[in-house]
Structures are given as structure tokens and as C-alpha cells.
Amino acid sequence: MFDFLKKGLKKTLENIAQIKSGHKKITKDLLEEILLEADVGYEIVEEIIYYLPPSDEVRKEDLRRVMKTYFLYDQKELSHSKPFVELILGVNGAGKTTSIAKLAYLYKQQNQKIILGACDTFRAGAIEQLKLWAQKLDIEIVASSQGHDPSAVAFDTISKAKAKDFDRVIIDTAGRLQNQKNLALELEKIIRICDKAFSGAPHRKILVLDGTQGNAGILQAKAFNEFVKLDGVIITKLDGTAKGGGLFSIARELELPILYIGVGESMQDLYEFDIDKYLDTLLDPIYN
């Protein structure tokens, strides 16, 4: 995972190394400059510096300890239900459909039997895109036509998964309707029908968030969290930007676990988020 993170956060790490170049010790002023350049929010940078020991020189172990506190949120204990049903949410353009495909690929590598539910019936393109991914991955999908009741698709997907002994159900949802009230009502109905199809489903509700959107993405996430109580987030599109430090703002504002991060377009470019490896990747160019 270190190589994956270094590749994905390449521009962030290059910027850190460039600012640090020529400095033998890390002072608080230098640290502030480095963290801001990595797109850590200004308020968070100020907080990090405030909670460090009073000495002007910043030790790696102290910085690491303070940084880690931003990611210490309780994760929901996963159900052992079979099938395990996941509801994937997110606005259009955040990388939701691609993330669903990457998740399916990840589960397939673990020898799990997966079925997709194409419940974004608001856009015909969303259904077709998911069908293409299912074909490419050689996994099953339940889909209907544009305008069809998405809750009915969710019910049929879960029912088929139960009948045919699937391990995982991944359900896509609409990222946009005519207004937020309509979207909220639709998502609430899908969740209700999932539970009707299989008591306790969906077992995990995951929001896909564009990691380059900053505050706009955080506001979107808060809105979704009001509609449905989210269990975690997938952060996408961190590659190609210098915003690798943006995860601090996401973790602080949402108080939700970051479950996976995605960088790149290939199926392998989705990994479980490991806070220790993430922090080591950011700190290495500061202290090496």
C-alpha cells in the first residue's frame, strides 16, 4: 500500500519535499507552510500547531500523534449477514460508478460472489455504465429502464442474492433528482425496501466523495448524511492533484471513517484506508 499511496499522492509529496529542501530541522513556521501547501485546511493547521509541545522544533512523533487524532472515529461493527448489502451514494461526477466497479473487483479478488443493483434509474446513462462494468468484471447485475422505481430494483437485487447465495450486494443510487427533498425521499424509500427484502439491510451506507472538491464536497457529504445516516466514505480522485492533505478536513468535518481511497482509473486503484500508512507517507518527505 505504501507504493500505491506514494503514487497517488505524488504531487503532494513532491511539493512537501520541495518546501522542506535545504532545511535541517522542522520548525512550526516551516510546518505551517508545508501543511498548507498539502491542502490541509488553515484552521486544522493552526490546531495541529497549537496542540504540539511548546518547543519551536517539531518532532516527528509529536506531529504524528496530533495528526492521528483527526481520524479516530468509531467504525460500525460489520454485520456477518449473507448477503452483505452495501448502498453506495454520491453526486454525479464524484466517481461513484467507477468506485462501485472497483469495490466489486476487490471483493471478487477475495473469491466473493457479487451482484450489482442499478438503482440510479434517474439517468439512463448510469444504468448502461453499470451494465458495462458488470460485463467487464463478469458479475451479475439487476437493472431495468430509466424511470423505473429504484426501490423495486433494490428489492429484486437483494431477493436474487438471497435465492442464489451471493456474498455481496452493491446497490447504486441516484446522485441527483429534481431537488434535494425528492432525493431524500427516494433514498429513504430504498433503505426501507432493502430492509423489507432482507432484515437489517443495507448493512453499510457509503458515500463516494471527490477528494479534490474541498468544502463543496464536505457540504454535499453533510447533506447526504442528513438524508441517511452514513457509515463511511470512499475518497476518489486524489491522483493528479496536490491535495493529499484534504483528508484531514473531510475526517474532521464529517466525523466519519474513511473506508477506501481511490487513485487512478484501473481496477486495482482502490485500497482500504490505513491511517498509519497514510500518515507515514505524508511524514516521510518532511523528516527524511
In the block, cell 479478488 appears at 109
State the amino acid at position 89 in one-letter form.
L
Residue 191's pLDDT is what? 97
CA 113 to chain centre: 22
Q: Which of 20-29, 127-136, 152-161, 175-184 has the lowest mean pLDDT?
A: 175-184
Q: Which of 24-28, 82-86, 215-219 has the lowest mean pLDDT?
A: 215-219
Residue spans of alpha helices (H) in 57-149: 60-68, 96-109, 124-137
State the amino acid at position 146 in one-letter form.
Q
Residue 178's pLDDT is what? 59
Each residue of 59-105: pLDDT tens digit? 999 999 999 999 987 777 787 899 999 999 998 888 899 999 999 99
Residue 241's pLDDT is what? 65
Chain-wide mean pLDDT for the chain? 90
**Per-residue DSSP letter, 71:** G
Residue 264 has pLDDT above 80, yes or no: no
In the block, cell 442499478 appears at 118
Q: Which of 31 and 76 is assigned the larger pLDDT?
A: 31
Q: For residues 130 and 136, what is the distance between their CA atoms, to the nearest angstrom?
A: 10
- Percent of the chain at pLDDT > 70 equals 97
Hey, which residues does 261 pair with through a beta bridge? 235, 271
Residue 15 has pLDDT above 70, yes or no: yes
* Model confidence band, residue 1 (pLDDT cutoffs 50, 70, 90): low
Interval 147-154 mean pLDDT: 93
Residue 69's pLDDT is what? 95
Q: For residues 201 and 86, what is the distance between their CA atoms, to the nearest angstrom?
A: 8
Q: For residues 103 and 169, what is the distance between their CA atoms, to the nearest angstrom?
A: 11
Question: Do residues 253 and 222 touch, judged by C-beta distance below 8 A?
Answer: yes
Residues 6+ apart with CB under 8 A from 277: 1, 2, 5
Best mean pLDDT range from 85-94, 106-115, 203-212: 106-115
Residue spans of alpha helices (H) in the chain: 2-8, 10-20, 28-37, 42-51, 60-68, 96-109, 124-137, 150-163, 180-197, 215-227, 247-254, 275-287
Q: Which of 132 and 246 is assigned the larger pLDDT?
A: 132
- Percent of the chain at pLDDT > 90 equals 58
Residue 2's pLDDT is what? 54
Q: For residues 128 and 9, what is the distance between their CA atoms, to the nearest angstrom?
A: 32
3 state SS of 235: strand
- Angle CA 267–8–214, to nearest 5: 105
Helix axes 215-227, 247-254, angle to 10 degrees: 30
Label residues 192-229 b or e (16+ Cβ within 10 Å = b). ebbeebbeebbbbbbbbbbbbbeeebbebbeebbebbe
Q: Which of 123-132, 198-207, 233-242, 244-253 has the lowest mean pLDDT?
A: 233-242
- Angle CA 184–128–85, to nearest 5: 50
Residue 176's pLDDT is what? 78
Reported residue count of the chain is: 288
Residue 194 has pLDDT above 90, yes or no: yes
Each residue of 227-256: pLDDT tens digit? 899 999 999 987 766 667 888 988 888 888
* Model confidence band, residue 197 (pLDDT cutoffs 50, 70, 90): very high
* Model confidence band, residue 51 (pLDDT cutoffs 50, 70, 90): very high
Terminal Cα-to-Cα distance of the chain (whole angstroms):
19
On the question of a cis peptide bond just before residue 53, with omega within 30 degrees of 0, the verdict is: no
Burial class (CB in 10 A: 0-12, 13-18, 19+), 32: middle
Q: Which of 193 and 222 is assigned the larger pLDDT?
A: 193
3 state SS of 232: strand
